Amino acid sequence: MKKSEQRDLFPGALEMMILRTLKRQPLHGYALVQHIKRTSNDLLQIEEGSLYPALQRLLKDDLVKAEWGISSTNRRVRIYKLTAAGSKHLEREVSSFERMLDGITRVLAPGEL
Amino acid sequence: MKITNWLKPLSSRRRLYNDLSNEIQAHLEEKIEELVASGMSRKEAAAAARREFGNLTLTEEDSRAVWRWPGVEDMIEDIRYGLRVLRKSPGFTAVAVLTLALGIGANTAIFSVVNALLFRPLPFRDPARLVVVWHTPPQKSFPGVSKFVVSPANYLDWRNQNHVFEQMSAVAFRNFNLTGMGQPESVEGRGVSADFFSTLGVQPVLGRGFLEEEDQPGRGKVAVISHEFWQTHFAGSKDVLGKQIKLDDKSYEVVGVAPAKFDFPFQAKLWVPMAWTEKDRAVRGNHGYIVIARLKPETDMKKAQSEMDTISARLAQQYPADDAGWGAVVLRLNQQMFHEVGPALFVLFGAVGFVLLIACTNVANLTLAKALGRRKEIAVRTALGAGRGRILSLVLTETILISVAGGAMALLLAHFVIQAIAEFIGPQLPFTVQIGLDGWVLGFTLAISILTGLIAGLAPSWHLTKTNLNESLKQGLGKTDADSSGGRARSVFVAAEVALSLVLLVGAGLMIRTLYLLRNADSGMDARNVLTVTLGISKEKYATVTQQNGFFNHVLEQVRALPGVEFATAVDNLPLQGGSIQPVAVEGQPVVAMADQPEVPVRLITPGYLRVMRIPLKQGRDFTEADNANASPVILVSESFAKRFWPNENPIGKHVKLTFLPGDASEVVGVVGDVRLNGLSVTEPVQAVYHAMAQNPQTTFMRLALRTGLPPTSLISAVTEAIHRVDADEPVVGVRTMEAVVDLSIAQNRLNMILLSAFAGLALLLASIGIYGMQSYAVRQRTREVGIRVAMGAQPAEVFRLIIAQGLRLATTGIVIGLAASFGLTRLMASQLYGLSATDPWTFIGVSLVLLMVALAACFIPARRATRIDPVVALRYE
């Protein structure tokens, strides 16, 4: 069941989810993956590794910043935080995503064909 | 993106990558720990963690890729790889670099000349606004002459009436005898109006320029000396100002020293004020001054030209006798030099362009041959995901590396070629034109190097990207039919090379024939065994005509008495070197104003001139000593002069009035053969008038010409001594054999011929290397085929023919195309040719044969190699 439910994400979706998650609280990579998996009820089965290139892109664009810190499991990890620019970027992305979603929903709505 | 983001990757890339690795490692460990906690064995947990993480290496690579500059880093990688490949095949690299060095070097050398003449700004203030204003003479009297020097009165009117020039200054060539400083010598002086230096915007490095009051009649005994003159005559001493120098026996006070390298116009050594008298200022019909001017900032060339047109029209109306038909043309100062040599340079530039194209083709061919050997590598790269662009850039990087290395070497070569050119034509150029390497030349070389690399690499790389992946991977040695398309491309290249070199060879052939025809052209006189001597003569000591003629006659007597001298005579301007052109009124022609009179060359000679130059007397008699100032004036005319004005009458006894001379019309006493007075290549018959020195009422600068049975140069010291016996203060300015004068008049043609032949030779060499390379490669490729043929019983002679025929097919194709191209292109150099058409059939045929022979020779060694192929070895070869 798991496999068939898996979908490719549209470009930018992963970044958007990362930003959204980091908006709530700073997290390190592993925790970030776990969080996304959990909150999506395991529907979005992302490959854990694909997180890292996305994180590097966000770092490069100054949308997040990273610091070495200690995790709850007492491990030395890199903790990612949303920057002000990241926060703004997230707002823009979410609103445009919502418009898109709205559009898709209308088209897919049952009835008048 | 912020600039810090661009810099960050450079400074801390390594730390970034380490962080990333550590982070991913921590991620995996955390995952494993969690899985172990949920009850998995450590081994299972590790495997599961890896599985869920995905491709570890790819993730890390992708993450790193975020930080890279893909373009730049790929390029650096390509360059590194290219250098490695080139190092591995030193033979290929050496040949390719050398080939391009020759091609680029030739271009750099010619460009440096163009650059010096055209692009390098003149060392004057704001040189773009400096112009030269010439007269345009009436075409009726001066057919074909487009620029003419200016008369004083017209210059003064131009200066006063125009609204487009800030300043307008006149210059005249005035040679002085310098005495009182060691040996008497003649120095190139210039008479200038007071604002000469300020018009050019040149500030003397010491002292000052001229004051307005120094340019007044009777004043003007001041001089500005050139930097060079200051060094040679005053050892660069600071207290030169105020010193007196003796020019033509008059004292001039040195008031300034011009900046180094300033010798305008044309190799000037010193300048003095013109100091025209009222009488000088009124001269309108006699022209002799160069006029330079500085445009006002708000004007342009068009406005200046139309203003000068207006003024000329007004003057022509006001002074119809002198100015009817005389216009004016405004030309930029920096284009003056280029006008002289422009057409020849244009041809040479075309030639070196062709050489470079051939070099390009050779390198493309070599690269293609090498690339075909690398097909497997390319196929593996493509299979691993390298795109077409990456393959292209791989090959292009390699050829650009070669061409840039070639360019660097070309600079070295060009340095020597430029020195040779500068040495050859330098003496004919003013100081202000310095041929050499500068920023522009370096930039040009870099630009064409890169362009060359691109062109040379384009065809091979394009070919490679079309390679069939499967075939290449299967076939280790790359001996599939795919080769035939590579072979076709290479054949096209070689044929193109042959065609290009044929065009060059035809050009060179035409130039060589031109020079040969010029050397053997009948100039109307006999230059062998004639020595000519140019004297400086003091205008102070010999102020009157009687004094001057007395001096010359004295010298002639002394020279004639020398052993070995058959006869000596004097003339104002030697044949081939141009000279005075004057209006004449001819008996039997309608009487018209001076401006409408025909203008003909007038030469002043002493009796015996015809004998010395061996100019035939066609009719009547030569001058004798009896034709002196007391006798009635007589002249000789040339055959074509007589034919023009008295086509059906006996010219002897007719009269011609030389308008510039006072007194009666002169009677024609003799008709002489036409002589090429204006240069060997000027073939139109010269309608000349010869006038006796003894009857000339004006002082004139004369040259000696003497005929001898000995080698002329062996007389130089004896002649010099004879002159100094008459007056030890008169310098001998120049001594030349008449044959040297002939050579000088075709020096430009010779230089063009030498350069064009050198470039054509280079082209021929490169093309034959191309053919040789092509055929060697073909033999290697066809080893198996030849082996089979030999095994089936083919004789060596047949094999030999097979290879030769293939080469000849290429050469003939190239020659046919080249002939067609030459037919169209050589007419562009028609102005450089003499005595033959631009499509001279003998040149075309001869050059084709030469090229065919060279092609044959180039095929010979590979063909011989093919005959020695051992079928057993060849068939095992696969």
Residues 6+ apart with CB under 8 A from B756: B347, B348, B351, B504, B507, B508, B511
> Closest Cα partner for B753 from B843, B816, B824, B853?
B843
What are phi and psi for residue A48, nearest 5 degrees?
A: -60, -40
What pLDDT is recorded for position B339? 64
Long-range contacts from B847-850, C-beta under 8 angstroms, 24+ separation: B847/B502, B847/B505, B847/B506, B847/B509, B848/B502, B848/B815, B848/B819, B850/B505, B850/B764
What pLDDT is recorded for position B618? 92
CB atoms within 10 A of CB B481: 8
Q: For chain A, how many helices (H) and strands (E)?
A: 5, 3
How many interchain CB pairs under 8 A, A with B?
A: 72
What pLDDT is recorded for position B877? 55
Query: For residues B568 and B608, what is the distance between their CA atoms, to the nearest angstrom?
Result: 7
Beta bridge partners of B131: B293, B332
What pLDDT is recorded for position B836? 83
Quickly state the pLDDT bin for A6 (edges 50, 70, 90): very low
Residue B252 lies in a domain: yes
Query: For residues B105 and B444, what is the distance between their CA atoms, to the nearest angstrom?
Result: 11
- Is B567 in contact with B556 (CB distance < 8 Å)? no
Residue where one domain finishes, among candidates B730, B758, B775: B730
Residue B371 lies in a domain: yes
What pLDDT is recorded for position B2? 47
What pLDDT is recorded for position B485? 56
A49–B67: do the CB atoms touch at under 8 Å? no
B106-150 pLDDT, tens digit per residue, is: 888 888 888 877 776 677 888 888 888 988 888 777 766 778 889
A32-67 pLDDT, tens digit per residue, is: 888 888 887 666 667 777 788 888 888 888 888 888
Pair (B340, B320) in one structural domain: no
pLDDT of B1 over the 50 cut: no
What pLDDT is recorded for position A4? 37
B65–A48: do the CB atoms touch at under 8 Å? no
Query: For residues B729 and B723, what is the distance between their CA atoms, to the nearest angstrom?
Result: 10
Beta bridge partners of B174: B189
Pair (B289, B395) in one structural domain: no
Task: Catalogue the E-assigned strands of B507-597.
Answer: 530-535, 565-571, 581-586
pLDDT of B477 over the 60 cut: no
Beta bridge partners of B191: B172, B272
Query: For residues B806 and B102, what is the distance between their CA atoms, to the nearest angstrom?
Result: 28
State the residue range of the domain holding B96: 71-120+335-480
What pLDDT is recorded for position B11? 53
Residue B524 lies in a domain: no
Residue where one domain finishes, among candidates B267, B293, B325: B325
What pLDDT is recorded for position B484? 53
Pair (B216, B276) in one structural domain: yes
What pLDDT is recorded for position A3? 38
User: Which residue among B5, B54, B63 sits closest to A48, beta carbon to beta carbon?
Assistant: B54
The alpha carbon of residue A88 is apart from the nearest alpha carbon of chain B, in Å, by 16
Helical (H) or strand (E) element with A77: strand A76-82
Proportion of chain B above pLDDT 70, given as a percent: 92
B325-376 pLDDT, tens digit per residue, is: 888 889 888 776 666 666 777 788 888 888 888 888 888 888 877 777 777 7
Q: Which residues of B touch A (CB under 8 A)?
A: 1-2, 5, 19-20, 22-24, 26-27, 29-31, 33, 52-56, 58-60, 62-67
Query: Quick one: fold of A2-108?
Result: Arc Repressor Mutant, subunit A (1.10.10)
- More confident position, B327 or B391: B327
Query: For residues B807 and B866, what is the distance between their CA atoms, to the nearest angstrom?
Result: 13
Residue where one domain finishes, among candidates B306, B325, B344: B325
Q: Write down how long chain A is.
A: 113
Q: Write down how long chain B is.
A: 878
Query: For residues B324 and B314, what is the distance between their CA atoms, to the nearest angstrom?
Result: 10
B850-873 pLDDT, tens digit per residue, is: 999 988 888 888 888 888 877 777
Is some CB atom of chain B closer than 8 A to the CB atom of A56? yes
The alpha carbon of residue A51 is apart from the nearest alpha carbon of chain B, in Å, by 9
Query: For residues B445 and B466, what is the distance between their CA atoms, to the nearest angstrom?
Result: 32
Pair (B206, B256) in one structural domain: yes
Task: Calculate mean pLDDT across residues B79-95.
Answer: 82
CB atoms within 10 A of CB B878: 10
Residue B409 lies in a domain: yes
Pair (B575, B592) in one structural domain: yes
What pLDDT is recorded for position B480? 43
Task: Calculate mean pLDDT across residues B193-208.
Answer: 88
Task: Calculate mean pLDDT across residues B393-410.
Answer: 87
Contacts of B48 in chain A (CB under 8 A): none
pLDDT of B614 over the 90 cut: yes
And the tokens for B87? 């190092």
B138-185 pLDDT, tens digit per residue, is: 877 776 677 888 988 899 999 999 889 999 999 988 878 888 777 777
Q: How far is CA B744 from CA B272, B427, B738, B768, in A?
A: 30, 12, 10, 35
Pair (B97, B206) in one structural domain: no
What pLDDT is recorded for position B560? 92
Domain count, chain B: 4
CB atoms within 10 A of CB B772: 19
Q: What is the mean pLDDT of chain B?
A: 83
And the tokens for B518? 């010029």
A30–B31: do the CB atoms touch at under 8 Å? yes
A50–B26: do the CB atoms touch at under 8 Å? no
Residue B859 lies in a domain: no
Pair (B312, B358) in one structural domain: no
Pair (B76, B53) in one structural domain: no
And the tokens for B507? 């050009």
Pair (B64, B184) in one structural domain: no
Pair (B403, B302) in one structural domain: no
How far is C-alpha B253 from the geometric centre of its chain's CA atoms?
Answer: 40
3-state secondary structure B346-361: HHHHHHHHHHHHHHHH
Mean pLDDT is lowest, of B291-300, B475-484, B614-623, B800-809, for B475-484
B624-661 pLDDT, tens digit per residue, is: 989 988 889 999 999 999 999 998 889 999 999 888 88
What pLDDT is recorded for position B613? 93
Environment class of residue B113 by beta-carbon count within 10 Å: exposed (0-12), middle (13-18) or buried (19+)?
A: buried
Residue ranges covered by each domain of chain A? 2-108
Quickly state the pLDDT bin for B432 (edges 50, 70, 90): low
Environment class of residue B176 by beta-carbon count within 10 Å: exposed (0-12), middle (13-18) or buried (19+)?
A: buried
Q: Provide the residue type at B492 as one letter.
A: V
The alpha carbon of residue A74 is apart from the nearest alpha carbon of chain B, in Å, by 10
Per 3-state DSSP, chain A is made up of helix, strand and coil in percentages (nearest 5) of: 60, 15, 30
Pair (B554, B699) in one structural domain: yes
Pair (B353, B268) in one structural domain: no
Proportion of chain A above pLDDT 90, given as a percent: 0
B26–A56: do the CB atoms touch at under 8 Å? no
